[in-house]
Every structure is written in structure tokens, then in C-alpha cells.
């Protein structure tokens, strides 16, 4: 949510694993996808999961399964690593997580 505005701009669903956070779903609100009323909603949602990972002592580690068309985008914009090309599992390590948290918090 935007401070002073109760409208939800996006959501992230994640799960605590043993030593990391796994994101199950990241979705920006429809008005933040094509017309982009607000920029950076998607990366901010990933930053929320990274922050939780740091809070739990997991050093920022976050994993997620990317849509095929977004693999290169996540590598380029968030410095995500590709753990398994077959399953499209990606990882945000400590360095990538620190950058996201510093940018969005």
C-alpha cells in the first residue's frame, strides 16, 4: 500500500523454508502492469520477502519459480541467479537481497 492510500498495489505470498524464504506468488495490481500508475511495485514485493529473510536470520536468501518470459528480466533487474533451468527456479542471494531492501526500505 502507498502511505496515505488504502488501495492495495500488489501482493506477495511466501513461505518460510529451512534457511530461506520461498515466494509462491507475486502480483502487481492491474493498474500497475500496463499503464503503471506506480513504478517498482514488483521489485518492492520481492524486497518484502528479502527483508523477511534477513529478519529470520536467512541472510536474505529467497527462491521463486519464474515464468519463462521473465527469466532474463529477473537476472537483469534484480541480479537473480538461475538455480535450475528445467524448473525455472531462481534465487536472490545476500548481495541481491541487500540491494532490493536498500532500494525499497
Mean pLDDT of 78-87: 97
Give the global pTM: 0.89
| Domain assignment present for 5 | no
| Domain assignment present for 32 | yes
Domain span including residue 91: 10-104
- For residue range 18-60, what is the model confidence (pLDDT) as tens digits? 999 999 999 988 776 766 666 678 899 999 999 999 999 999 9
The domain total for the chain is 1
- For residue range 5-15, what is the model confidence (pLDDT) as tens digits? 678 888 999 99
| Domain assignment present for 2 | no
Using CA atoms in the order 70, 48, 23, 98, what is the torsion angle rounded to 10 degrees? 70
Q: What is the pLDDT of residue 1?
A: 47
Q: What is the pLDDT of residue 63?
A: 99
Could you tell me the pLDDT band of residue 2, with boundaries at 50, 70 and 90? low
CATH number for position 55 = 3.40.630
| Domain assignment present for 51 | yes
| Domain assignment present for 68 | yes
User: Alpha helix (H) ranges present in the chain?
Assistant: 41-55, 71-78, 94-104
* CA-atom Rg of the chain in angstroms: 13
| Domain assignment present for 1 | no
Number of neighbours of residue 31 by Cβ within 10 angstroms: 13
| Domain assignment present for 41 | yes
| Domain assignment present for 3 | no
Per DSSP, the three-state class of 99 is helix
Sheet holding 21-28, edge to edge: 10-16, 21-28, 62-65, 89-92, 81-84
Amino acid at each position: 500500500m502507498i502511505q496515505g492510500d488504502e488501495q492495495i498495489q500488489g501482493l506477495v505470498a511466501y513461505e518460510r523454508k529451512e534457511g530461506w524464504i520461498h515466494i509462491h506468488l507475486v502480483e502487481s495490481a492491474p493498474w500497475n502492469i500496463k499503464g503503471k500508475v506506480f513504478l517498482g511495485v514488483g521489485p518492492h514485493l520481492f524486497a518484502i520477502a528479502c527483508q523477511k529473510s534477513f529478519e529470520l536470520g536467512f541472510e536474505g536468501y529467497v527462491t521463486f519459480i519464474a515464468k519463462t518470459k521473465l527469466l532474463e528480466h529477473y537476472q537483469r533487474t534484480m541480479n537473480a541467479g538461475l538455480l535450475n533451468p528445467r524448473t525455472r527456479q531462481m534465487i536472490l542471494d545476500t548481495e541481491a537481497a541487500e540491494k532490493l531492501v536498500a532500494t525499497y526500505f
